Amino acid sequence: MFGDSKKPKSGGAKVDTIIGQQTRIEGDIHFTGGLHIDGMIKGNLIAEPGSSSVLTVSEHGRIEGDVRVPTVILNGTVSGDVRSDERIELAARAEVNGDVYYNLIEMAMGAAVNGSLVHQTDKNPPQAGKNPQQSGKNSAVLSFDRENPESGTSKE
């Protein structure tokens, strides 16, 4: 039935690289394939353009930097913007302190986004520093204030 599973659905994604819970990496990471993070990353995570890479961040995982990956499964914390051309899954313990740019999104009860949700329907999401509202008719911005959840406003 719906909502029976509290664990994120990884869809059987193949994991090529694991960053363990006791590991801390400083610097940008460029990758292809599957990357699973239990540790801490201080830098940007960037999947190679055109790849079908998958990033999985466990409840122990933490990223301080921007994320640009086609498929993101998040149950940890990201302090930075998250950009996903395909799909993003925010599990119950997920926290994003930044903007989320997505094509498809699944958000579990308990997940938090402290920033804007920006829906991208085209394959050319806006570049960093550009206003998503100026990127054309294929985007929508939804802003929330975590202290006042009823303040959600939509800008199209």
- Tens of pLDDT, residue by residue over 66-82, are 999 999 999 999 999 99
For 86-114, write each residue's pLDDT tens digit. 999 999 999 999 999 999 999 999 999 99
Q: How far apart are CA 131 and CA 139, in angstroms?
A: 11
- Residue 156 makes CB contacts below 8 A (sequence gap 6+) with 133, 140, 141
Q: Among 27, 32, 30, which residue's Cα sits nearest to residue 14?
A: 32
Question: What stretch of H or E contains 25?
Answer: strand 24-26
Q: Please report which residue ranges of the chain form alpha helices under DSSP H.
A: none
- The pTM is what? 0.73
> Residue 139: how many CB atoms within 10 A of its CB?
19
Note the Cα 25 to chain centre separation in Å.
19
pLDDT per residue over 5-62, tens digit each? 444 454 556 888 999 999 999 999 999 999 999 999 999 999 999 899 999 999 999 9
DSSP string, 46-114: EEPTT---EEEE-TT-EEES-EE-SEEEESSEEES-EE-SSEEEE-TT-EESS-EEESEEEE-TT-EES
Q: Where are the domains of the chain?
A: 17-155
- Kindly state the tokens that stand for 18: 């694991």
Helix-strand-coil percent breakdown of the chain, rounded to 5?
0, 45, 50
